[in-house]
């Protein structure tokens, strides 16, 4: 009797399969049901959609709201803002598309019961900044999940999706997905006419600042394991801007957000000696990036850059000046509730270290890099744009369809659309949901066919780590050291060290070059080989093993993209020391990659950037 002799294979048929029930996934489920009344809409989630994804612990602001009803902003204003912040490179067709729909999404959230703060004088939503509105969002995710549960035909919690399936006869068409139940160990085969990938971006691909118990207190959730990228990459979907990792300036150790502090509380930063420092680095930054430094607001990466240079010059730590603002009891309450609503760990850090910002100006630091598609960065899949105005080069099918037929994406998955945040991710899910329903309706009598040989072969692959452990464990007395297998944590720490040292992590001051990247690719290649020898003691470790697989593949993509772009486009996010300046003549373009799993090789190309021109 083998360990999993009682393992079942469960087949689930669906019309629209939504992978990942975070904000984007819930939006996709909701909209798929609205347009696909008779369709089977299935949501699959590795945790529990009640508290899954990046919004699991709540939010204190919605960072993407136009306020068109009060003529506060128009969609094109948001496009210009995102373009400016990302140093010129965003998919403006996709960004506009989110911005024109997002207000309707937020109005629904309020109707569903999300407490949105109001300006007592105007009655409008209380603005934290030009794009942000303030909420009491402790239950943001449970509220949105309730809407998704009402909409879905079925929600499968605790299923880790490991691979997408392709059509038996058309290799560039998606046919479903496979995964396993983290509780029962059953193997799941989802058949689908259309698949929407709305999984999470990538934390823990670069070594975090805390490597002990606190390694879980990453800025982005530790459960954001790059499935957003690995799933599409494995079936050959083109990816874009994977080099565009993000580094966050945040309160030290807890990575508590600074947005409300800067924008609403009007706190500001200074160096260890109480001096303003950003202007010190103006001329230096201008030499690197030219006129981009003069744009308003100053791009996020350039503000990081000034902080990093100031610290390197020996005038750290950088502090947030809170003592003045926190004398106002209202502002003090906002400052604390901001953390309790979305980054409780920061409150824990301050309580533990007796940091009361009313009396002490707290330290700031820069985080390790993350790869994701919804904050001030835009890594992700290359997707078809909206049918009514996207340029021909951005349009080959249905809105938000990737370069694989029937494969859609939203949220962290879709590249080029920075600053969508929670509301924009849900909105992008809605856009993908309607498009996926249209795709399914147009398919008629030609549904994709899954290939039994393919999913049986994947079943063996999926459970191999448990086999590795069961066999290898007998060789050793006890402990974690085995000559035949690595545990998932071993692989994760190797990955983080490679990315940190060779691809521009914290220990390298976010700096890399061609020789470092070449060496990084060699070491990642060996790690990929070793991934065949990951050992999983139980189903929880099997989940960790597959999260690691996804992180490794995404990391390889990041490294290839970083090598391809021979410029430093976003100083403060990372530096190509061998190409230290921004180079609009050669690199005012998107980078695209396509992974070929048969040859294990990457093809790189450039794609044009279209701007809204007035």
Partner 1 sequence: MPTFVYMTSCDGCGHCVDICPSDIMHIDTTYRRAYNIEPNMCWECYSCVKACPQNAIDCRGYADFAPLGHSVRALREEAKGTISWKIKFRDGHEKDFVSPIRTTKWGTIPSPSDYAAPDAGEYANQELAHEPDALNIEGGLPALAPDQLKQGVV
Considering only residues 57 to 116 of the shown chain, the ones binding partner 1 according to CB under 8 A are 57, 68-69, 74-76, 83, 88, 92-93, 96-97, 100-101, 103-104, 107-108, 112-115
CA–CA distance, 44 with 361 (Å, rounded to integer)? 44
Q: CB under 8 Å to 236, separation ≥6 — which residues? A: 171, 172, 403, 404, 594, 595, 596, 597
Single out the segment in contact with partner 1 by CB under 8 A; choices: 45-53, 273-281, 297-305, 518-526: 45-53
Which of 52, 249, 269, 482 is in the footprint of partner 1 by CB under 8 A?
A: 52
Which residue stretches of 241-299 are H helix?
259-263, 282-289
- Strand, helix or coil for residue 182: coil
- Closest Cα to residue 186, out of 3, 1, 9? 9
Provide the minimum distance between the beta carbon of 586 and partner 1 in the complex, in angstroms, as a whole number: 12
Binders in 296-335 for partner 1, by CB under 8 A: 333
Binding characters for partner 1, 132-171, by CB under 8 A (x = yes): ----x-xx---x--xx--xx------x-------------
Provide the minimum distance between the beta carbon of 541 and partner 1 in the complex, in angstroms, as a whole number: 10
Provide the minimum distance between the beta carbon of 206 and partner 1 in the complex, in angstroms, as a whole number: 16
Comparing CB distances to partner 1, the nearer of 502 and 570 is: 570
Comparing CB distances to partner 1, the nearer of 50 and 309 is: 50
CA–CA distance, 467 with 474 (Å, rounded to integer)? 12
Binding characters for partner 1, 515-554, by CB under 8 A (x = yes): -------------------------x--x-----------
Provide the minimum distance between the beta carbon of 69 and partner 1 in the complex, in angstroms, as a whole number: 4
Provide the minimum distance between the beta carbon of 316 and partner 1 in the complex, in angstroms, as a whole number: 17
Which of 121, 388, 529, 598 is in the footprint of partner 1 by CB under 8 A?
A: 388
- Closest Cα to residue 563, out of 614, 508, 518? 518
Which residue stretches of 473-573 are H helix?
488-502, 514-530, 539-564
- Closest Cα to residue 432, out of 406, 396, 450? 406
- Residue pointed to by tokens 């294979």: 9
CA–CA distance, 448 with 437 (Å, rounded to integer)? 15
Terminal-residue alpha carbon distance, the chain: 70
- Closest Cα to residue 478, out of 528, 428, 435, 537? 537
Which of 4, 34, 268, 396 is in the footprint of partner 1 by CB under 8 A?
A: 34
Phi-psi region of 136 (alpha: psi -120 to 50; beta: other; left: phi over 0): beta
Which two structure tokens, joined as six digits, stand for 424? Answer: 């924009």
DSSP 369: P
Provide the minimum distance between the beta carbon of 158 and partner 1 in the complex, in angstroms, as a whole number: 8
Comparing CB distances to partner 1, the nearer of 134 and 517 is: 134
Which of 10, 263, 272, 348 is in the footprint of partner 1 by CB under 8 A?
A: 348
Name the phi and psi angles at 415, rounded to 5: -90, 160
DSSP 316: P
CA–CA distance, 102 with 426 (Å, rounded to integer)? 8
Provide the minimum distance between the beta carbon of 281 and partner 1 in the complex, in angstroms, as a whole number: 24
CA–CA distance, 137 with 155 (Å, rounded to integer)? 23
Single out the segment in contact with partner 1 by CB under 8 A; choices: 271-279, 340-348, 458-466, 519-527: 340-348
Which of 352, 507, 532, 601 is in the footprint of partner 1 by CB under 8 A?
A: 352
Name the phi and psi angles at 116, rounded to 5: -105, 130
Contact between 418 and partner 1 per CB under 8 A: no
Q: Is the dihedral of CA 45, 50, 54, 56 positive or negative?
A: negative
Which of 349, 376, 410, 506 is in the footprint of partner 1 by CB under 8 A?
A: 349
Contact between 14 and partner 1 per CB under 8 A: no
Comparing CB distances to partner 1, the nearer of 354 and 445 is: 354
Comparing CB distances to partner 1, the nearer of 265 and 521 is: 265
Comparing CB distances to partner 1, the nearer of 393 and 603 is: 393
Contact between 51 and partner 1 per CB under 8 A: yes
- Residue pointed to by tokens 């995710």: 141
Provide the minimum distance between the beta carbon of 559 and partner 1 in the complex, in angstroms, as a whole number: 24
Contact between 351 and partner 1 per CB under 8 A: yes
DSSP 293: G
Contact between 35 and partner 1 per CB under 8 A: yes
- Residue pointed to by tokens 């990466």: 301
Name the phi and psi angles at 128, rounded to 5: -90, -40
Single out the segment in contact with partner 1 by CB under 8 A; choices: 339-347, 371-379, 517-525, 568-576: 339-347
Please give the angle made by the CA atoms of 387, 76 and 133, to the nearest 5 degrees. 115
Comparing CB distances to partner 1, the nearer of 150 and 456 is: 150
Comparing CB distances to partner 1, the nearer of 78 and 303 is: 78
The alpha carbon torsion through 531, 535, 536, 537 (nearest 10 deg) reads: -170
Binders in 218-237 for partner 1, by CB under 8 A: 218, 221-223
Which residue stretches of 531-608 are H helix?
539-564, 584-587
Binders in 458-497 for partner 1, by CB under 8 A: none
How many residues touch partner 1 under the rule CB under 8 A: the total is 99
Provide the minimum distance between the beta carbon of 457 and partner 1 in the complex, in angstroms, as a whole number: 26
Binders in 183-222 for partner 1, by CB under 8 A: 210-218, 221-222
CA–CA distance, 464 with 309 (Å, rounded to integer)? 47
Provide the minimum distance between the beta carbon of 116 and partner 1 in the complex, in angstroms, as a whole number: 9
Single out the segment in contact with partner 1 by CB under 8 A; choices: 341-349, 364-372, 563-571, 595-603: 341-349
Provide the minimum distance between the beta carbon of 565 and partner 1 in the complex, in angstroms, as a whole number: 16
- Closest Cα to residue 367, out of 358, 359, 377, 357? 377
CA–CA distance, 503 with 516 (Å, rounded to integer)? 7
Binding characters for partner 1, 427-456, by CB under 8 A (x = yes): x--xx--x--xx--x---------------
CA–CA distance, 19 with 10 (Å, rounded to integer)? 17
Comparing CB distances to partner 1, the nearer of 1 and 613 is: 613
CA–CA distance, 386 with 394 (Å, rounded to integer)? 9
Binders in 238-257 for partner 1, by CB under 8 A: 253
Comparing CB distances to partner 1, the nearer of 155 and 521 is: 155
Provide the minimum distance between the beta carbon of 245 and partner 1 in the complex, in angstroms, as a whole number: 20
Comparing CB distances to partner 1, the nearer of 381 and 431 is: 431
């Amino acid at each position: 009797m083998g360990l999993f002799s009682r393992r079942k294979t469960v087949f689930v048929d669906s019309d629209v399969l939504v992978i990942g029930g975070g904000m984007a996934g819930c939006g996709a489920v909701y909209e798929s049901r609205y347009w696909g009344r008779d369709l089977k809409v299935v949501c699959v989630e590795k945790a529990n959609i009640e508290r899954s994804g990046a919004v699991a612990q709540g939010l204190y602001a919605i960072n993407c709201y136009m306020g068109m009803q009060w003529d506060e902003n128009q969609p094109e204003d948001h496009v210009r803002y995102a373009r400016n912040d990302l140093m010129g490179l965003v998919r403006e067709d996709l960004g506009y598309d989110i911005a024109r729909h997002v207000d309707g999404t937020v109005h629904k959230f309020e109707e569903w019961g999300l407490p949105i703060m109001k300006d007592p004088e105007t009655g409008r939503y209380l603005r934290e900044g030009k794009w942000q509105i303030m909420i009491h969002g402790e239950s943001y995710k449970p509220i949105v999940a309730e809407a998704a549960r009402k909409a879905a035909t079925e929600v499968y919690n605790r299923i880790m999706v490991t691979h997408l399936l392709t059509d038996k006869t058309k290799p560039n068409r998606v046919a479903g997905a496979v995964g396993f139940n983290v509780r029962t160990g059953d193997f799941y085969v989802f058949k689908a006419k259309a698949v929407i990938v709305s999984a999470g971006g990538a934390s823990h691909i670069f070594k975090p600042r805390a490597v002990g118990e606190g390694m879980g207190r990453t800025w982005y959730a530790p459960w954001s394991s790059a499935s957003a990228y690995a799933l599409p990459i494995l079936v050959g979907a083109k990816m874009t801007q994977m080099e565009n990792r993000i580094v966050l300036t945040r309160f030290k150790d807890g990575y508590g957000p600074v947005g409300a502090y800067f924008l609403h509380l009007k706190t500001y930063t200074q160096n260890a000696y109480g001096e303003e420092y950003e202007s010190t680095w103006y001329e230096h930054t201008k030499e690197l990036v030219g006129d981009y430094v003069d744009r308003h607001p100053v791009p996020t990466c350039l503000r990081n850059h000034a902080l990093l240079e100031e610290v390197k010059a020996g005038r750290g730590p950088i502090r947030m000046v809170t003592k003045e603002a926190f004398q106002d009891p209202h502002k003090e309450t906002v400052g604390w509730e901001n953390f309790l609503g979305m980054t409780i760990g920061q409150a824990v850090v301050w309580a533990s270290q007796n940091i009361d910002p009313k009396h002490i100006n707290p330290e700031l630091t820069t985080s390790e890099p993350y790869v994701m598609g919804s904050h001030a960065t835009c890594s992700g899949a290359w997707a078809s744009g909206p049918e009514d105005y996207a340029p021909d080069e951005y349009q080959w099918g249905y809105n938000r369809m990737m370069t694989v037929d029937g494969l859609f994406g939203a949220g962290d998955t879709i590249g080029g659309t920075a600053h969508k945040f929670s509301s924009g991710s849900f909105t992008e899910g809605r856009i993908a949901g309607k498009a996926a329903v249209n795709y399914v309706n147009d398919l008629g009598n030609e549904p994709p066919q899954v290939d039994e040989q393919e999913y049986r072969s994947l079943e063996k692959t999926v459970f191999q780590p448990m086999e590795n452990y069961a066999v290898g464990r007998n060789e050793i007395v006890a402990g974690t050291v085995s000559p035949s297998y690595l545990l998932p944590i071993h692989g994760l720490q190797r990955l983080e060290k490679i990315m940190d040292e060779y691809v521009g992590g914290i220990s390298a001051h976010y700096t890399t070059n061609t020789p470092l990247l070449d060496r990084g690719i060699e070491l990642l290649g060996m790690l990929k080989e070793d991934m065949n020898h990951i050992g999983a003691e139980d189903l929880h470790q099997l989940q960790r093993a597959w999260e690691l697989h996804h992180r490794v593949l995404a990391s390889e993509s990041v490294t290839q993209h970083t090598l391809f772009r021979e410029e430093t486009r976003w100083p403060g996010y990372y530096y190509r020391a061998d190409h230290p300046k921004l180079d609009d003549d050669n690199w005012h373009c998107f980078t695209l990659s396509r992974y070929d799993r048969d040859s294990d090789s990457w093809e790189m190309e450039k794609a044009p950037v279209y701007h809204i021109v007035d």
